[in-house]
Structure 1
């Protein structure tokens, strides 16, 4: 017999409803789910602060009231091949300090649920996806706490700090310790002195043998930055030894409060004046003289335009004693680098004021990448770089252009006596035009004073100046003297009396080689010394490049 399915459904509905009502009745016995294994905790996070890190996670599911504990592992690598710290806790948070972990060290953390009396431990750990690092209590050094030679370091309160180790990192140097006194610990700060300008340092703050914090900082290049509206004379007068003064673009007059031009005086201190732009065309000093007084006096002039016209400058740099010329002085080094110097009536540098030979001493003199013109144009009784009686170690004259100057370039003609190391004179890749006179040896004159002279890769033209005579370019007969003259180009050289000029004096032995006499057509008023395209002088140097000042071969 065929039964209609629709009628069967209707017959079963009452029984189904009764079953549902019975199921919805409250069971007098409550059943709690108890897993056989603890669930893996979740939501792991780390919050580093100072010399602490707070580690948080979410409790395992169904763990309330079970007495569940957690194992926390910390490792330097995310494989946890080596566990650097481990502990067990019933909480879902843990705070660690520099007593357990190293400040500045990246770490990874993982957490797992441990076994209980009724359940096995979790199968897996919850692991941080990225490392954390405790930054420590030493704070970042703001610019306001930095100078070119000092840094004020500050830290969060900690009565246990004992010292700071300072390490020069760029360029690398020798670390040194700064001990913290009780007053420093209370003040939570320390002024660190004896630093060097434009150096990057790392500072590590210690409590006993443990690092409590670290930071890096770079000392600024300039001790002070000056604008043209400020007094450059006062800035130089008030500068300390080793200061570096940065000059914003503008024109600076070396004037006092009465608007009279005065000398820059550096008494037993050495400083640097440097344009911030690096361009001598936009940073100019109208000067009278830089007077270096006494032992320790020195000057570095970098990327500045120096004009002596308004100040009626007799010298650019004048060496003397603190109170009198006759004092014995040991000067700091002198450098003129990337500058233009013009309109000086007597000498670029005068160092012959000592009473006797070797009374004045200096290490190194550098003139580099500069254009120097109109020095003693009248060819009076001064030499451009007068070092007679001065004991010097070395003078380097490199990558410069000199024109319209007299009467000789370098003169160190007073014998310094026995036992004095032979000074070195190096003239390389320079352009010289229209200079010399008064029957001088117009490039280097050592006379009987022993010198080690190297003259290479230069262009030397048009000496002596009109109406003057010259005895030659080089002289030096002192015992032990050495002169070399190689890969130079000379033209327009004569003795001023209708004859050819000699490279060397008759009693001076000079080693020569690869010199040329290509006439470039320069005259007394030439100021553009660009080498012609295709000129053989563009490949005539000892290294296969151009000779003369490199700026004229670009």
Structure 2
């Protein structure tokens, strides 16, 4: 019997010990549970604004708004809080706001939070946030290309009081401070001088110690002119004697060439305003003619006006001995220009005696405004029979233009399909004479066409047009992409009016039809604040020519 009791006791002892151990663990768990349950729940969230940042968290478990629980929030520059605490606050809500008066704008911070002791419950453990910052205001306006020079830049901002300075910092260089005068505050603009050419800079604007905006830019290459001119006669003589590759600078003023064409024969020249501003450098033109092999032109920073001459064309491509004679042109670049009034078209390039007799590498138009074309029987870009590799139109505006926009409607065999692109461009009020395919008419030719981030509105200019916007090869050889644009009031002019459409073989995506209220006579295309067109581009930015943002 004693032996049996010994066996029972030895068997029962582990069970007893396990029970004691379980009780001990239960008591220890009960001891730490209030602190764990009192800790703020979940991750801390941050919402960054221009002048403040809001931190929020889930309240401690088993508390309510009337429980009396409070929290301590501390902010430091590192997640381990080994650097000094910058600010410490207490709050009785599950959130706190820090302003630019408490934290530096654009600097990264970390916060930690704990629930303070309440009644019999001790304070909780710390919970640390992910990094956060105050985003900072952005009062700077987008930079205007023509206002970025080799040694200067014009910085503009939305009207703001109390501004004191702009700090300009070159890449790998020391910052330089520029005071903002009362006159500059009134004008909401300041010209920064003393910059270095082809250098990247960052500019920060302040009101006292408060940061109000940042903008980055790169200065242009030095404008090295072969010679500069100041009169119409000097300009004509300079073009005549120039060698291919020369850069002719036009001093501010008006150059009257309304009585005769400006002819560039068998050489590529640059005509560029010294100021970089088309508003103060005007050429009254009859026509700019490119003649013969090697002819080409770059036009930069000039205002062209064909009104006085009733100019038929802005640019006209011709052979040397006769209009139809074979010619291999170089390239055309029109940048930062205005072209007002042409009777027929912006560019005529169909004079070759046969398909492909005239050839050119590229045609580029950017940061340019073309306006007020007559009712001549030409597309605004009239390229029939021309063999070309690229037509690029970007950051530009065209209004009250031709019977149609781009025409390459003579069927021809080209060595490679040309690339045509329209990006960030505003087009308003065009189309007449019953023309069809008024945006692009490539007939049965193969093209690679992309139109994006643009706004097209108001057809026809007068009379009627066909109901198709585009024509190109239908055998699969063309690549036709139309995406992230806004089209509105594109009608055929008939009664009842029919809306213009793209053919089924065009790839369409993310296009809208928001009516911006423009009419055929609109000349100011500023985008309304809060409109969807301000976020509709491929980069979630605004549509159309950036000058109207």
Normalising by the smaller structure, the TM-score range is 0.5 to 0.7
- What is the root-mean-square deviation in Å for CA atoms of aligned residues? 1.9
Q: Unpaired segments of 5 or more residues in structure 2? A: 1-196, 199-220
CA shift for structure 1 position 460: 0.5
Distance 1:528 1:326 in 2: 40
Where does structure 1 lack aligned partners over 5 or more consecutive residues? 1-197, 200-217, 256-260
Partners of 2:231 and 2:535 in 1: how far apart?
43
Contact 1:268 1:294 in 2 (8 A): yes
Cα 1:538/1:224, change in 2 over 3 Å? same
Check conservation: 1:472, 1:495, Cα contact below 8 A. no
| Match for residue 451 of structure 1 among 430, 447, 469 | 447
Query: Would you say the 8 A contact 2:490–2:499 is kept in 1?
Result: yes
- Residue number among 225, 235, 238 corresponding to 2:238 in the alignment: 235
The equivalent residue for 1:359 is 357
Give the one of 304, 310, 313 matched to 2:311: 313
* 1:425 counterpart SS class: strand
Cα distance per residue 1:268-313 (max 9 Å; x no partner)? 1110110111110000000111111111011111010000011221
In the alignment, what sits opposite 1:411?
Answer: 407
Inter-partner Cα distance in structure 2 for 1:329 and 1:230: 28
- Who is 1:329 aligned against? 327
Paired residue secondary structure (2:469): strand
C-alpha deviation, 1:459, in angstroms: 0.5
Paired with 1:384 and 1:502, the residues of 2 have a C-alpha distance of 19
Alignment correspondent of 2:299: 301
Contact preservation (8 Å) 2:467, 2:491: no
Query: Which runs of structure 2 are paired with 1:152-301 in the superposition (5 Å)?
Result: 221-228=224-231, 230-254=233-257, 261-301=259-299
Residue correspondence of structure 1 range 369-518 to structure 2 within 5 A: 369-376=367-374, 378=375, 380-417=376-413, 420-440=415-435, 441-477=437-473, 479=475, 480-497=477-494, 498-505=496-503, 509-518=505-514
Who is 1:346 aligned against? 344
Question: Structure 2 vs 1, CA of residues 237 and 471 (structure 1 numbering), >3 Å: closer, same or farther?
Answer: farther
The change in CA–CA distance for 1:487 and 1:270 in structure 2 (over 3 A counts) is same
Larger radius of gyration: 1
* Runs of 4+ in structure 1 over 4 Å off: none
Question: What is the TM-score when the length of structure 2 is the normalising length?
Answer: 0.58
Q: Under a length normalisation based on structure 1, what TM-score does the superposition of the two structures give?
A: 0.57
Q: CA deviation at 1:235?
A: 1.8
Q: Do 1:387 and 1:411's aligned partners in 2 also have CA atoms closer than 8 Å? A: yes
Q: Distance in 2 between matches of 1:331 and 1:487?
A: 34
- How far the C-alpha of 1:229 sits from its partner, in A, is 6.6
Pick the aligned partner of 1:534 from 523, 530, 533. Answer: 530
| 1:393-448 C-alpha deviation (Å, 9 max, x unpaired) | 0000001110001111111112221x610001100110111111222211111011
C-alpha distance in structure 2 between counterparts of 1:435 and 1:478, whole Å:
26
In 1, Cα distance between the equivalents of 2:289 and 2:250? Answer: 20
